[in-house]
């Protein structure tokens, strides 16, 4: 009996040991499988993270770098436009000779667009204190046939206006249009327009409207749009990533004269597609070189040290980012005042100045864009 018990205990021990060995072996196998699954999960998670975050980030960085490259090239283009503006149009043997400049733009992606409209600049001022005015409803939209003038203090006895379409020879001047609640015009107000505000036959103020035109480079990332803009002698950065700022400032400055007058010099450069050739838009699906031809059509002084009373005002219409950049520039670099971006900025002679003098120079610059 004792021998049987001993044999039974030995068998039970061997069976238990075998089970333990089998269990131990199986646990090693399960651990290996779990480890492989865990590694696969980590790899899948890493790949999905890269696809979700990394690829869009790289696309945005590529678009951002393309914008920076365009800005550097636009900086050089701005200098050429300045040179063409300075040289202007001259006459030789009774013929008009245009100074022209050329440059090559390296396009590696994104779009180039030549826009004849750009931002709209409306400038106005009065020659008499009592007839200071505000101008409304000249934003670029479908209705370019009406606008409004409000006099802040006294109203002229016989208020009327003359309209001159500066560079459109097909449009005749509109003269002696009465100033009512809304002024209706025969032809659309756009491009470049001079408006003389009168009391009877006496000019009491002026309004200038310019659609300055622009060259726009745009690159699109996964979630942001990046733009570089050449406009009115400056180079702007705009797009979803920024509220807009100047990469290169335009040439526009106040001066103080010897007689303690305050002189404000303003320059307007209108960019237009050259009617002689070129295209409006180029898409850079692959690396290519774009040829730009730059030539001024005219360079004129529209106002020369014009004495003004009250405030000179400017209102800018267009892309919100660009308008924001222009507002910041005029306020912080030129000395205009006004906080609301939807309201006009105004300039007045510094305290102690005898009077305010305004000089306005203007040029049309034709651009031809060719692959």
pLDDT of residue 95: 44
Say if residue 190 is in the same domain as residue 126.
yes
Q: Specify the number of domains making up the chain.
A: 2
pLDDT of residue 141: 78
pLDDT of residue 19: 45
Q: Report if residue 362 sits inside a domain.
A: yes
DSSP run (H or E) holding 315? strand 288-317
Number of other residues whose CB lies within 10 A of the CB of residue 282: 20
Say if residue 64 is in the same domain as residue 197.
no
Q: What does the chain come to in residues?
A: 371
Q: What is the pLDDT of residues 222-251, one digit of tens each?
A: 778 889 999 998 999 988 766 788 888 886
Cα–Cα distance, 344 to 87 (Å, whole number): 33
pLDDT of residue 118: 93
Say if residue 168 is in the same domain as residue 268.
no
Say if residue 146 is in the same domain as residue 277.
no
pLDDT < 50 regions, the chain:
7, 10-15, 19, 22, 28, 51, 90-95, 97, 256-258
Say if residue 288 is in the same domain as residue 357.
yes
Q: Report if residue 1 sits inside a domain.
A: no
Cα–Cα distance, 49 to 144 (Å, whole number): 52
Over its C-alpha atoms, the chain yields an Rg (Å, rounded) of 35
Strand, coil or helix: 29: helix
Q: Report if residue 4 sits inside a domain.
A: no
Say if residue 302 is in the same domain as residue 352.
yes
Full domain range(s) for residue 168 = 120-207
Helix and strand counts by DSSP (H, E) for the chain: 3, 22
Cα–Cα distance, 116 to 332 (Å, whole number): 28
pLDDT of residue 54: 55
pLDDT of residue 231: 94
Final residue in a domain of this structure, among 147, 181, 207 = 207
Final residue in a domain of this structure, among 160, 182, 207 = 207
Say if residue 191 is in the same domain as residue 243.
no
Q: Within 13 A of 6's CA, how many CA atoms are on the CB side? A: 3
pLDDT of residue 55: 56
Q: Report if residue 40 sits inside a domain.
A: no
Say if residue 192 is in the same domain as residue 109.
no
Q: Report if residue 264 sits inside a domain.
A: yes
Say if residue 340 is in the same domain as residue 245.
yes
pLDDT of residue 205: 95
Final residue in a domain of this structure, among 162, 177, 207 = 207
Q: Which two tokens stand for residue 110?
A: 């994104």
H runs (alpha helix) in the chain: 2-49, 55-87, 320-329
Q: Report if residue 101 sits inside a domain.
A: yes
Say if residue 231 is in the same domain as residue 328.
yes
φ, ψ of residue 284 in degrees (nearest 5): -90, 75
Say if residue 161 is in the same domain as residue 276.
no
Q: Report if residue 266 sits inside a domain.
A: yes
Number of other residues whose CB lies within 10 A of the CB of residue 184: 11
Say if residue 276 is in the same domain as residue 224.
yes
Strand, coil or helix: 90: strand
Q: Report if residue 354 sits inside a domain.
A: yes
pTM here is 0.81
């Amino acid at each position: 009996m004792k021998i049987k018990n001993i044999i039974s205990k030995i068998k039970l021990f061997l069976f238990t040991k075998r089970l333990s060995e089998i269990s131990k072996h199986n646990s090693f196998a399960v651990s290996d499988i779990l480890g492989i699954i865990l590694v696969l999960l980590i790899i899948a998670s890493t790949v999905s993270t890269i696809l979700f975050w990394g690829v869009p980030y790289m696309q945005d960085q590529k678009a951002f770098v393309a914008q920076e490259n365009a800005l550097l090239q636009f900086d050089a283009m701005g200098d050429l436009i300045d040179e063409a503006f300075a040289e202007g149009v001259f006459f030789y043997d009774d013929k008009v000779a245009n100074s022209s400049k050329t440059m090559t733009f390296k396009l590696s992606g994104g779009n180039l667009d030549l826009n004849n409209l750009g931002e709209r600049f409306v400038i106005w001022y009065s020659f008499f204190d009592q007839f200071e005015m505000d101008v409304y409803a000249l934003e670029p939209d479908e209705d370019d046939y009406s606008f409004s003038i409000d006099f802040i203090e006294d109203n002229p006895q016989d208020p009327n206006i003359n309209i001159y379409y500066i560079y459109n020879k097909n449009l005749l001047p509109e003269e002696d249009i009465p100033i009512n609640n809304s002024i209706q015009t025969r032809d659309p107000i756009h491009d470049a327009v001079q408006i003389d505000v009168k009391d009877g036959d006496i000019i009491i103020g002026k309004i200038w409207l310019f659609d300055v035109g622009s060259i726009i480079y745009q690159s699109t990332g996964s979630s942001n749009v990046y733009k570089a803009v050449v406009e009115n002698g400056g180079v702007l950065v705009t797009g979803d990533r920024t509220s807009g700022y100047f990469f290169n400032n335009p040439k526009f400055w106040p001066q103080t004269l010897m007689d303690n007058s305050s002189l404000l010099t303003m320059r307007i450069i209108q960019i237009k597609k050259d009617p002689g050739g070129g295209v409006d838009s180029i898409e850079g699906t692959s690396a290519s070189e774009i040829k730009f031809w730059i030539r001024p059509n005219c360079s004129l002084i529209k106002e020369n040290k014009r004495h003004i009373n009250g405030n000179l005002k400017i209102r800018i219409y267009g892309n919100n980012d660009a308008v924001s950049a222009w507002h910041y520039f005029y306020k912080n670099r030129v000395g205009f005042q006004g906080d609301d971006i939807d309201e006009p900025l105004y300039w007045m002679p510094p305290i102690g100045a005898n009077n305010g003098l305004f000089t306005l120079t203007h040029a049309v610059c034709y651009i031809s864009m060719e692959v």
